[in-house]
Amino acid sequence: MGDNYILKADHITVKFPGVLALDDAQLHIKRGTVHALMGENGAGKSTLMKVLIGINRIQPGGTVEFNGQQVTITSPNDALQQGIAMVHQELSPIPEMTVADNIYLGREKMRGLIIDKRDSIRRAQELLDKLNIRVDPTEKMKNLSIANTQMIEIAKAISYGAQLIIMDEPTSAITEVEVKHLFEMVNNLRDSGISIIYITHKMDEVFEIADEVTVLRDGQFIATKSASEIDKDGLIQLMVGRDLKDIFNKETVPIGESVLEIKNFTRKKEFRNVSFDVKAGEIVGMAGLMGAGRSELMMALFGVTKLEEGEVYIRGEKVEIKEPLDAIKHKIAFLTEDRKLTGLYLPLTVKENIMMTNLNQFTSGGRLQHRKMEKVCEEEVQKFTIRTPSIKQKVELLSGGNQQKVLVSRWMLADPDILILDEPTRGIDIGAKSDIYALMTKLAKEGKAIIMISSELPEIIGMSDRVVVMHEGKLTGILDRSELDQERILAYAAGELDDYKEAQS
């Protein structure tokens, strides 16, 4: 005791077949602090966290000291008993279970042989009240939003007396308001003496919420800094090992004719009367709050859902897109937001995933040219710095960000004329982000038309020639590059400014 540290992990080495995921890494966390863990995709962040909750085994020589004592953690449940909890979306609770059951499973009060449900509900209600979480304890887990599921997992951690709570990219799929709520919660936890490990690729979040930052690179420990002694550029330098000054590096590209135009797009419950166009060489950003209808709009354009009203023109000619195959025939590519649901095939290999929709390029006389496919695949892996021991690795074994790069690579290889990117850099590290931006610029130079949905305003402002803003299913404004600033976009996104009221009603 008397020690300032809740956790000291040293000489942590984790090996997987063909991969040295952690290489003599360390992590020291002070009591009652928020500690950001940063690093490029595949740096070993999630792997290190899975050591702390007993999923990954470490090589001999490594030690984990928790609360001043050397510990061995054998499973997530063991971790929880010892005071370490991890809140993440993958370990999702049983959907049919109620909130109260999920929190108190295995710890219920018994009345003879019968579980006292009322008691669990009462205790859950007290706990949720104390933490200011407005969720009904009798609600089924499956009915909760992602944000509320996270909140319940946090509540559960607290009920176990957790002293260290791990959050792995908790804000990747929740709304702005929910992020605020989460940050309040994190601050309260810290004030009550709990330590938080916070993994994110969002720079701004680090400086908003973290007291200290540890950076990993290629499985190795690089540094631990106090957030006040480092700035964004310094942090990037530590993460990627080189300077990355202007990650957007936006170039002026000659803008040509209109390539794609959508007119009066309507699916009443999702969006109404939306019209805009994209020109050759142009990047049109789509801004809006989560739920504004941007992804829904693009899904309708791509033929995933059916339009109630509206028309599509490609180079001035009206076209019918009834299903995704029609869209692909018109050389439209769509990098969807929900990659696991609509994009990646996790049990298949890197090669299979990249090649999936591109096989026609590698067919000659009715036969697949495997050598050529492999060569191109190797090049793609290089180009996108996909961290994998080989192109034959299953995609499910890659880190989150590297899975994402596989998908981007597939669509780029298809050589589309019109590219729809929905949150193209979500979960991607800063180095790979700048690679993707460079690629977008290259494609724009080749005369492609690009639509980019993004929730990150710096990215919208950094990359777009024009920005279409939506609010609750309506287009509220179209801004030129010269008019772009954060406040203005937010005002349109919140529906406070609306240029299209008269014109469209």
Closest approach, Cβ 220 to ligand ATP, in A, equals 12
Please report, as a single letter, which amino acid is at residue 433: K
With CB cut-offs between 5 and 8 Å by kind, which of Mg ion, ligand ATP, none does residue 401 bind? ligand ATP
Closest approach, Cβ 80 to ligand ATP, in A, equals 21
Closest approach, Cβ 408 to Mg ion, in A, equals 17
State how far Cα 384 lies from the chain centre: 18
Closest approach, Cβ 53 to Mg ion, in A, equals 14
In terms of CB distance, is 46 or 425 closer to ligand ATP?
A: 46
* Two structure tokens written together for 311: 């028309």
With CB cut-offs between 5 and 8 Å by kind, which of Mg ion, ligand ATP, none does residue 397 bind? ligand ATP
Q: How far is CA 12 from CA 36, 47, 73, 80, in A?
A: 18, 10, 14, 21
Q: Which residues bind ligand ATP (CB under 6 A)?
A: 16, 19, 21, 39, 41-47, 387, 397-402, 429
Quickly count: other Cβ atoms within 10 Å of residue 46's Cβ: 22
With CB cut-offs between 5 and 8 Å by kind, which of ligand ATP, Mg ion, none does residue 41 bind? ligand ATP
In terms of CB distance, is 26 or 441 closer to ligand ATP?
A: 26
Nearest residue to Mg ion, scored by beta-carbon proximity: 46
Whether 36 and 227 have beta carbons less than 8 Å apart is answered as yes
Whether 354 and 410 have beta carbons less than 8 Å apart is answered as yes
In terms of CB distance, is 48 or 189 closer to Mg ion?
A: 48
Q: Is residue 46 a contact residue for Mg ion (CB under 5 A)?
A: yes
Binding residues for Mg ion restricted to 349-408, rule: CB under 5 A? 400
> CA dihedral in degrees (262, 263, 266, 271; nearest 10)?
60
Nearest residue to ligand ATP, scored by beta-carbon proximity: 401
Q: DSSP class of residue 95?
A: T
In terms of CB distance, is 57 or 375 closer to ligand ATP?
A: 57
The arrangement of strands across the sheet holding 283-287 comes to: 332-335, 418-422, 449-453, 283-287, 466-471, 474-480
With CB cut-offs between 5 and 8 Å by kind, which of ligand ATP, Mg ion, none does residue 336 bind? none
E-state strands within 75-219: 84-87, 110-111, 114-115, 164-168, 195-199, 212-217
Q: Give the residues across from 12 on adjacent strands.
A: 25
Closest approach, Cβ 399 to Mg ion, in A, equals 5
Closest approach, Cβ 384 to ligand ATP, in A, equals 13
Return residues touching Mg ion (CB under 5 A).
Answer: 46, 400
